[in-house]
A and B are shown apart, each in its own frame.
Chain A
Amino acid sequence: MPQTPPRVEITEYGNRISKPSVIVAVPDVGLIGTIACSYIVEQLKFEPKGHIDSDLAPQVMLVRDSVPTYPIQIFGKDKMLIVISGVPLRPKFSLELAKEIARWAKERDAKVVVGVSGAPSRKREESHGDGVPTVTGVSNDQVMLKGLKAIGALPLEQGGLTGFYASLMKYCMVNDQANVTLLGESMLQFPDPGAAAAAIGVLSAMVGLKVDTKPLLKESEEVRMKTRELMSQTQAAQQPTVGNPSAYR
Chain B
Amino acid sequence: MWEDDEDDYPETSMDRFFSRVFAGFEDPLFDIESRSLRPLFRVEVNEEFVVVAMDLPGARKEDIAVTCTEELVSLEAEMKKPVALRVSGAGARATRFERYSKKVRLPVRVVPEKATAKYKNGVIVVKLPILRTGKAIKIADG
Contacts and interface: CB of A to CB of B under 8 A. Distances in A.
B22 interface: yes
B107 interface: no
Contacts of B125: 125-126, 128
Contacts of B119: 128
DSSP class of B's interface residues: helix, strand, loop or mixed? mixed
B123 interface: yes
B25 A64 contact: no
A92 B27 CA distance: 25
A166 interface: no
Given A62-B21, A125-B53, A189 B42 contact: yes
Interface residues of B, number: 31
Contacts of A84: 21
Contacts of B14: 219, 222-223, 226
A11 B22 CA distance: 20
B120 A228 contact: no
Interface stretch (A35-43, A96-104, A137-145, A174-182): A35-43
A38 B17 contact: yes
A125 B22 CA distance: 25
A103 B21 CA distance: 24
Nearest to A230: B22
B53 A228 contact: no
A38 B85 contact: no
B23 A39 contact: no
DSSP class of A's interface residues: helix, strand, loop or mixed? helix
A224 B57 contact: yes
Given A126-B125, A225-B83, A229-B29, A190 B40 contact: yes
B98 interface: no
A39 B118 CA distance: 31
A238 interface: no
A42 B27 contact: no
B29 A221 contact: no
Interface in B60-81: none
Interface in A50-90: 62-64, 69, 73, 84, 86
Interface residues of A, number: 38
A63 B120 CA distance: 36
Interface string B103-119: 00000000000000011
Contact of B18 (A69, A188, A190, A227): A227
B85 A225 contact: yes
B13 interface: yes
Contact of A229 (B16, B27, B39): B27
Interface of A: 34, 38-39, 41-42, 62-64, 69, 73, 84, 86, 125-126, 128-130, 187-191, 215, 219-233
29 contacts: A41-B21, A42-B16, A62-B21, A63-B23, A64-B20, A73-B21, A86-B21, A86-B22, A86-B23, A125-B125, A128-B118, A128-B119, A129-B120, A130-B120, A130-B121, A189-B42, A190-B40, A190-B53, A224-B55, A224-B57, A224-B122, A225-B57, A225-B83, A226-B85, A228-B37, A228-B55, A229-B25, A232-B29, A232-B40
